[in-house]
Amino acid sequence: MNIFGNLSKRSRAAVYALVVVGGAALVWSMGLFGFTDRVAGRSEAHATAADKPGDSKMSDDSVELSERQANALKIGAAGARDFTLFKTAVGTIDFNEDLLVQVFSQYPGKILKAGFNIGDDVKAGDTLFTIDSTDLLQAESTLLAAAGVLELQKRTLARLTMLLKAGGSAQKDVDQSTSDQQTAEGNYKAARDAVRIFGKTDDEIDQVVNMRKVDSTLLVPSPISGRIVARSAAPGFLTQPGNAPAPYSVADLSTMWMIANVIETDAPAYKLGQEVAVTVPAYPDKIFKGRITTLGSIIDPNSHRQLVRSQIDDPEHLLRSGMFASFVIRVGDPVRSVAVPVNGVTREGDGTMTVWVTSDRRHFAKRTVKLGLQQDGWDQVLEGLQPGETVVTDGAVFVSNVLLLGAAG
């Protein structure tokens, strides 16, 4: 039977519309239920995977390397080494003033000749310069006069002695002449000593007396063996004893001084006699040995530093006054500590120092450590690592890069 047969057109249209809307609602509801089931299934699968043992993620400070990557690293046990406490300071090279002599003439005069230039090596006794000395001229003139008086007194005494034997003179005349001769001998000896002060030898003095000729040329020798480091002498210049500048300055260069100013907090660590190792930029591969000879008695109120002066051996005469220099000094006994090669340590962005520790040579964990001294390519580890732990000894930066790349990916 046609149920729509008795319905009007308007009623039939309404029924058709209800059927269409109901069908659409049924289709939509079935799709929603299917989507919900898929979401639920996916969540269940994730929960099941998370519950499986051994599939948990590694920590943020750990990495896993392939066998090839691990073989490219150097891995070893953290050992123990002796670390010595050293102090360093910078300063300048200077002449050893205990062996630096400013050569003056003992008497004023005009310079006649200057025989050496700066940089020349001289020996003790070599004549550096000569002067025309009026004092020497006066001393030699006095010597000649004393020699003449002595000669006269000798002849007078001899004549009176002969007359006394012949009965032609009195004993008192002989006694007076003897006294006069003794006085003349004393004056003559004093005159010779006065000339000798000028550096004249006995042979030279005898020559002046025998030839009756004075020589006002005064020789000024070098008092030590060394090198000419300064010269102001020139022919015709007048020189006065002690008036700067000195005609010549001679330095014994077998030893030099290094003068440094150390920070106030390090001052207690320095002691007289401590050995120092000095280097200068001019000879970067050479180490000059020496020892501390002087410690300043005050701390500079402006710079808060203390003077430390060392005497440096320089048998080859390589050092020059004014050179920039640095020294290293051991101020304590060696301390045995855990040590890692410098290539096994990395600096993080916040300034902390880390090493990579492993137990199976495939999985590596980052460990923060506290470092101390660095000597001979090794870092002293004060905290964070125990002796015998296996660490990356070369290639720690590579492992850190692997960690960063993994985090970025």
Does one domain contain both 133 and 105? Answer: yes
Handedness of CA 312, 314, 315, 320 (dihedral sign): negative
Does 156 fall in a domain?
Answer: yes
The total number of structural domains that make up the chain = 4
d(CA 273, CA 253): 20
pLDDT value of residue 151: 87
**How many beta carbons lie within 10 A of that of residue 365, not counting itself?**
14
Residues of the chain with pLDDT under 50: 1-7, 15, 19-21, 24-58, 408-409
Nearest Cα residue to 226 out of 66, 379, 95, 340: 95
**Pair 311, 325 in one domain:** yes
Where does residue 72 fall: left (phi above 0), alpha (psi -120 to 50 degrees), or beta otherwise?
alpha
Which of 285, 306, 330 terminates a domain? The answer is 330
- The HSE-up count of residue 388 (CA atoms within 13 Å, CB side) is 0
Residue range(s) defining the domain that contains residue 402: 62-80+334-408
CA dihedral (320, 321, 322, 324) positive or negative: positive
Helix residue ranges per DSSP H, 90-200: 134-166, 171-196
As beta bridge partners, residue 380 has: 339
- What is the per-residue burial (b if ≥16 Cβ within 10 Å, else e) of 101-115? bebbbbbebebbebe
CA proximity to 224, closest of 121, 125, 94, 313: 125
Question: 266: domain CATH number?
Answer: 2.40.30.170
Q: What pLDDT is stored for residue 13 in this prediction?
A: 52
Report which of 153, 142, 143 is spatially closest to residue 209, judged by C-alpha positions: 143
Q: Are residues 232 and 288 in the same domain?
A: no
**H-helix or E-strand containing 56?**
none
Question: Residues, the chain, total?
Answer: 409
CATH number at residue 162: 2.40.50.100
* Whether residues 311 and 402 fall in one domain: no
The pLDDT of residue 354 is 94
149/183 Cα distance (integer angstroms): 10
What is d(CA 290, CA 306) in angstroms, rounded to the nearest whole number?
Answer: 19
Determine, yes or no, domain membership for 347.
yes
Q: Are residues 207 and 70 in the same domain?
A: no
DSSP SS3 for 179 = helix
Same-domain status, 145 and 174: yes
pLDDT given at position 180: 85
Find all residues with CB under 8 Å of 293, minimum gap 6, and list them: 272, 309, 310, 311
CA distance 334 to 380: 12
Are residues 108 and 226 part of one domain?
Answer: yes
Q: What are phi and psi of 99, to 5 degrees?
A: -120, 25
Query: Does residue 91 belong to any structural domain of this protein?
Result: no
DSSP H or E run through 59: none
Domain boundary among the residues 249, 275, 297 is at: 249
310 domain-assigned: yes
Looking at residue 32, what is its pLDDT?
A: 38
Closest Cα to residue 319, out of 284, 293, 280, 276?
Answer: 280
Within 13 Å of residue 22, how many CA atoms lie on the same side as its CB?
6
Q: 156 and 226, same structural domain?
A: yes
Classify residue 204: in a domain, yes or no.
yes
Final residue in a domain of this structure, among 263, 296, 330:
330
My answer on whether 270 and 304 are in the same domain is yes
CATH code, domain with 394: 2.40.420.20
87 belongs to a structural domain: no
Based on the fold, state whether residues 312 and 379 are members of the same structural domain: no
Q: Are residues 240 and 283 in the same domain?
A: no
Residue 85 lies in a domain: no
Residue 146 and residue 197 share a domain? yes
Q: Could you report the per-residue pLDDT of 11-26, keeping only the tens digit for each?
A: 555 545 554 445 544 4
The pLDDT > 90 percentage for the chain reads: 44
Three-class SS string for 293-350?
A: EEEEEEECCCCCEEEEEEEEECCCCCCCCCCEEEEEEECCCCEEEEEEEHHHCEECCC
Give the phi and the psi of residue 265 in degrees, each rounded to 5. Answer: -70, -25
Quick one: pLDDT at residue 380? 92
95: in domain: no
Pull the structure tokens for residue 259: 């003068």
The string of pLDDT tens digits covering residues 323-338 is 999 998 887 778 889 9
